[in-house]
A and B are shown apart, each in its own frame.
Chain A
Amino acid sequence: MFTYTLRRAGALIPVLLVVSIVVFSLGWLAPGDPARIVLGPEALEADVQKLRDSMGLNEPLWHRYLEWMSHAFRGDLGTSYFLNMPVSTAIGQHFGPTMQLAVLTIVYALVISVPLGTLAARWRGSAFDQGIAGFTLIGLTFPSFVLSLLLVIIFSVWLRWLPVAGYRDPFSDPWNGLRYLILPALSLGTIYAALITRTVRASVLDVLKSEYVDAARSRGVSENRLLFAHALRNAGLPIITMIGLSFASLLSGAVVAESIFNIPGIGSLLVNAIERRDYPVLQGVVLFLTIIYLGLNLLVDLLYGVIDPRVRLTDSVVK
């Protein structure tokens, strides 16, 4: 188990190396100039060039890359050009809203999907099941940013129930904090709800077909009790996987939602960094997101082994 974990983690190093090179060269290739952004549109080119010198932007690329990498290894991701703070601090500040949104989204998705999926399995083939199948198809194909726009039209423009966009810290102001997060969570969560509904339905069906459920049924255990106490409990493994993967993707994938709803999370930080050519932030955030994603993936795999000892952890998954 331990060596397996080590080896899996070790396999991530070349991946991260490639990512760092790609991200670094993208920053270098991109047109635009952080020095120009700092000085503003009316500053003269000569002044911009001078500032480039003092910001170290005129150093050769490989030199800047090596310097950045050597610092990154020591956990120092550099300092933002615009935010007057280290990149790691900026990530820390922006991680909260993204995390809150992710949690709320997953909660919403579970609240929708677990009962729907279970009941669809219970009444499989019925009109209800068909309806659920239709819902999940729509849910999966509906691009979430399109859904967010439609939700804004319905709940903010027409009904005026919820704010168009924005963010309040839910810890200092729970009521408004929640109101601001509802639409983003709904629009992001629907796709996950559809996804988890399918997973729940499929795994509950698998369990319902198994012998020990038959046995329990023959002992006279009620169908509902069977469903919720036995089937759902044992259908947990794929669901856990799905939640883990969804969570990983939510932390990194909420860029458009954060941009639409103006939530100051990691996604907004990244989009701003691209717009302002804030290279240290751009590089730091992409590296951070990649590590988070790969890390959570690894965790899900490891959890498999812990939850279900039948799953043997071997290197077969890793080349």
Chain B
Amino acid sequence: MAFKFTRRSLLGASVLALAAASLTFSNTCFAEEENTLVVAFGAQPPSLDTHVTTVSTTNVLARNIFETLVTLDASMNVQPGLAQSWSVSEDGRTYRFTLRSGVKFHNGEPLTSKDVVASLKRWQTYSLTGKSVFEGANWAAEGADTVVLNLPVPRFNALESLAPAYTQDPVIMPGVIAEAATDKPVTKLVGTGPFRLTNWEADRALELERYADYTSFDGTQSGTAGDRTPAFAKLRIEFVPDESTRTFGLSSGEYDIATPLAYDSISELRSSDELNLGSASSAMINLGFNFGKPGIFQDKRAREAINLGLERESVLTAAAVDPQFFRLNNHLMLLAQKQWAADVGKTDFNPADVTKAMNLLQEAGYDGKELVLITSRDYAEMYNSAIVVQQQLQRLGLKVKLESYDWSTYVKARADRQAWDLIILEASPKPAPTQLIFLNKDFPGGPQDAKLEDILAKFRKAGTMEQANELYRKLEEWNQSYIPSVRLGEVDFPFATSKRVQAIDVQYDLMFWTARLRD
């Protein structure tokens, strides 16, 4: 055996050394190739089936491929989508949708009323919104282009619930796929949307191209409504779980858009005039009590003590660093959801009154028992709030043990009612308060209160927005006196675009088809 490789590797060494010496920071822009928009996206969602998966990233990606019956314009008014028009019966219980003509699925099949009925039936069976808003509803096809929805009682938000949302969009897929599908996510991703999925490299990238036969909605683009034809040919979503890689790739020109960004990188990115910053979506951060486990927090005074004693500003600073990306808010809905009144309750809800809190805890009979606070380390804002909350609770005289888990274990631990007393909960915003997860009695540790159930039941049957808003006030009053959980505030998820992206629109999250590229 001769070892010729030795000499060759010596030669190789010098070549490599030369190469290394000539290495400079090259500014190669893949993004500019072939009119492609390249997005550095956080983690890959578990599926792209919004009917079953409740993750918001599923929604953001799926709505490039799939579409809904109706849409929302920039002022959040309901506009046509796959349904060209609709009529509502006198009693508000029957909706008749006329489908847009000429719409074709990515597999070439035309869109018919059967597809819509099959998709929405599945969505109604499995999605949280479907179950909550459309309980007892019935869908029927009339001819090829008419879909009839029958509700047992009128609902103020029936139409809105069929529009895109933060999570679980009621998307339309071919009837054959929807009928064959169970509660497992569908793997055939065929929609009518502006982009067609061409390749999904697991954990690496999603490649989409502009759908050649796309039939757009009428009017100019506004929110998810109007003309949705993309101005670029290809969309490449790269899954880049590492925050610093996303940021770095953006500044080096590899990515056009990076979302979400690490809060710590904001100040650095802001100083660069090569980039634009924005917020893509938001979440509510709550400190939840466990109503499924007997303990101190069954006593309202103890819950009030926490509500009074926490200093939310530093919690949110630790969570989201930059004041542009967090807000104090003691209401159930986001401040941005202006359709819901935010005038209930006092404005000074963050007194950080340690003495009063300690007195209340004493009244409630806190005996020094160790309380378990759980959080997940996989989401920086959750983990960071938990650290500060734990410190503040200890200042109130509570003995708090922080348990921080990876996401899977966190969710499992949360389901075990005996495993925790307090939880850091990141809840996604919902179009209506009835769908908020932390008010759901079936959610692990959720509040069990007859008055709440009463308000929610009435709320679900509210026929008009006025009735709904009246009930929302009642719900707010209940929320602020009962304190089912302590609202810490809302955080935004920042994104940044390179200068190559002239404009991109946000509704609940980024709408990639609205991006306009500089050439």
Contacts and interface: CB of A to CB of B under 8 A. Distances in A.
Contacts of A176: 26, 28
B444 interface: yes
A289 B462 CA distance: 59
Interface string B19-38: 11001111010100000000
Contacts of A228: 6-7
Given A31-B412, A33-B411, A277-B408, A164 B244 contact: yes
B158 to A, nearest CB: 21
A245 to B, nearest CB: 17
Count chain B CB atoms within 10 A of each CB in A47, A55, A173 and give the residue with the most: A47
A50 B125 CA distance: 12
A179 B23 contact: yes
A310 B289 CA distance: 73
B58 interface: yes
Interface string B227-244: 000000000000011101
Interface string A23-66: 00000001111001111111111110011001100000000000
B411 A36 contact: yes
Interface in B420-439: 427-428, 437
A56 to B, nearest CB: 11
A115 B13 CA distance: 10
B47 interface: yes
A82 B54 CA distance: 15
B442 interface: yes
Contacts, number: 162
A42 B168 CA distance: 11
B53 interface: yes
B241 A163 contact: no
A204 B319 CA distance: 58
A107 B202 contact: no
Contacts of B55: 40-41
A236 interface: yes
B448 to A, nearest CB: 15
A165 interface: yes
A55 B184 contact: yes
Nearest to B167: A42
Given A83-B202, A179-B23, A40 B2 contact: no
B204 A264 contact: yes
A83 B187 CA distance: 9
Interface string B187-220: 1000000000000111110000000000000000
Interface in A218-265: 228, 232-233, 236, 239, 262, 264
A280 to B, nearest CB: 13
Interface in B432-475: 437, 440, 442-444
B183 interface: yes
B245 A40 contact: no
A232 B9 CA distance: 13
Contacts of A42: 54, 128, 167, 427-428, 437, 443
A33 B202 contact: no
SS class, residues of chain A in contact with chain B = helix
B249 A163 contact: yes
A165 B242 contact: yes
A114 B9 CA distance: 9
Interface in A83-108: 83-85, 90, 93-94, 107-108
SS class, residues of chain B in contact with chain A = loop
B241 A262 contact: yes
A45 B442 contact: yes
Nearest to A85: B202
A87 to B, nearest CB: 11
A236 B240 contact: no
B10 interface: yes
A38 B185 contact: yes
A276 B128 contact: no
A312 interface: no
A27 to B, nearest CB: 12
Contacts of A84: 187, 200, 202
B46 A40 contact: yes
Nearest to A50: B183
B508 to A, nearest CB: 15
B65 to A, nearest CB: 14
A263 B444 CA distance: 36
Contact of B202 (A51, A90, A114, A165): A90
A44 B443 contact: yes
B428 A165 contact: no
Given A33-B412, A262-B240, A39 B442 contact: no
B362 interface: no
A119 to B, nearest CB: 12
B407 A114 contact: no
A239 B9 CA distance: 14
B375 to A, nearest CB: 13
A20 to B, nearest CB: 22
A272 B24 CA distance: 33
A268 B12 CA distance: 30
Nearest to B411: A36
A162 interface: yes
A275 B407 contact: yes
Nearest to B11: A111
A191 interface: no
Given A38-B46, A165-B244, A262-B240, A111 B183 contact: no
Contacts of A30: 408
Nearest to A168: B30
A182 to B, nearest CB: 8
Contact of B183 (A51, A107, A156): A51
Interface of A: 30-33, 36-47, 50-51, 54-55, 80, 82-85, 90, 93-94, 107-108, 110-112, 114-115, 156, 160-166, 173, 175-176, 178-179, 182, 228, 232-233, 236, 239, 262, 264, 268-269, 272, 275-277, 307
Interface of B: 1-3, 5-7, 9-10, 12-13, 16, 19-20, 23-26, 28, 30, 46-47, 52-55, 58, 126, 128, 167, 182-185, 187, 200-204, 240-242, 244-245, 248-249, 252, 254, 378, 406-409, 411-413, 415, 427-428, 437, 440, 442-444
Q: What are the 9 closest A-B residue pairs judged by CB atoms, nearest first?
A: A32-B408, A40-B54, A111-B13, A40-B55, A83-B202, A42-B54, A165-B245, A164-B248, A31-B412
14 contacts: A37-B408, A38-B47, A38-B53, A39-B53, A40-B53, A41-B54, A44-B440, A50-B183, A51-B52, A54-B182, A163-B252, A164-B248, A176-B26, A232-B3
Given A33-B412, A43-B128, A269-B203, 20 more contacts: A32-B406, A32-B409, A36-B411, A37-B411, A39-B54, A41-B55, A43-B52, A51-B183, A54-B182, A114-B9, A115-B10, A156-B248, A163-B252, A166-B249, A166-B254, A176-B28, A228-B6, A233-B3, A236-B3, A262-B245
